[in-house]
């Protein structure tokens, strides 16, 4: 089996549609210490991750896909504020963020489907502020991997809460720092 699977929009959409329920299952009804703690300086808590994913859906993935289709590389993407969630999530509960993420992701996927992207359009490019030219295919594949990255980050953050409690097994648990 090849190590890289060719990007397919229908498969990507299925994966993207599952992220809200995966994260909801991981975080619902937990004490706040499980959702608000991070695993070190400059890391996100699970609460932060959900806010970050909401902000990404509202300002990044579909917005940039639409820009690629409409302007075809004539103007650069707006830079993405990776830390905007600190302000936009302030005063909300994790339950509110989970509900909002589910709603926003549904809208994002509806908008993505409505674009009726053709195979040829996947090769159109946009100008990323840091990377230069990127294709629509790369953008959409990155959206999927970005979700998986943050699911992993939530798991890592949660595992970190028991980093000392596991005792010598820490040696075998790659999710924990050695």
Count of residues making up the chain? 178
User: 20: closest CA among 43, 46, 50, 48?
Assistant: 50
CATH number of 9-172: 1.20.120.450
Asked if 77 and 129 touch (Cβ cutoff 8 Å), the reply is yes
What is the distance between the alpha carbons of residues 23 and 50, in angstroms, rounded to a whole number? 8
Q: Where are the domains of the chain?
A: 9-172
Name the phi and psi angles at 99, rounded to 5.
-65, -45
pLDDT of residue 177: 80
pLDDT of residue 1: 44
What is the distance between the alpha carbons of residues 146 and 144, in angstroms, rounded to a whole number? 5
pTM of the model: 0.93
- pLDDT truncated to tens, each residue of the chain (178 aa)? 455 568 999 999 999 999 999 999 999 999 999 999 999 899 999 999 999 999 999 999 999 999 999 987 778 999 999 999 999 999 999 999 999 999 999 999 999 999 999 999 999 999 999 999 999 999 999 999 999 999 999 999 999 999 999 999 999 999 998 7
pLDDT of residue 4: 58
């Amino acid at each position: 089996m090849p190590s890289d699977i060719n990007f397919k929009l229908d498969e990507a959409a299925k994966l993207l549609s599952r992220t809200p329920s995966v994260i909801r299952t991981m975080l619902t009804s937990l004490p706040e210490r499980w959702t608000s703690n991070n695993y070190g300086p400059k890391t996100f808590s699970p609460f932060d991750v959900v806010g970050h994913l909401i902000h990404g859906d509202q300002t990044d993935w579909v917005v940039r896909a639409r820009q690629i289709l409409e302007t075809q590389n004539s103007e650069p993407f707006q830079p993405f504020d990776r830390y905007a969630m600190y302000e936009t999530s302030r005063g909300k509960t994790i339950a509110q963020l989970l509900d909002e993420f589910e709603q926003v992701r549904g809208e994002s996927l509806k908008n993505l489907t409505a674009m009726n992207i053709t195979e040829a359009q996947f090769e159109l490019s946009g100008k990323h502020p840091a990377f230069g030219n990127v294709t629509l295919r790369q953008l959409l594949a990155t959206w999927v991997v970005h979700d998986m990255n943050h699911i992993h980050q939530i798991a890592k953050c949660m595992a970190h809460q028991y980093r000392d409690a596991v005792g010598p097994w820490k040696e075998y648990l790659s999710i924990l720092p050695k």
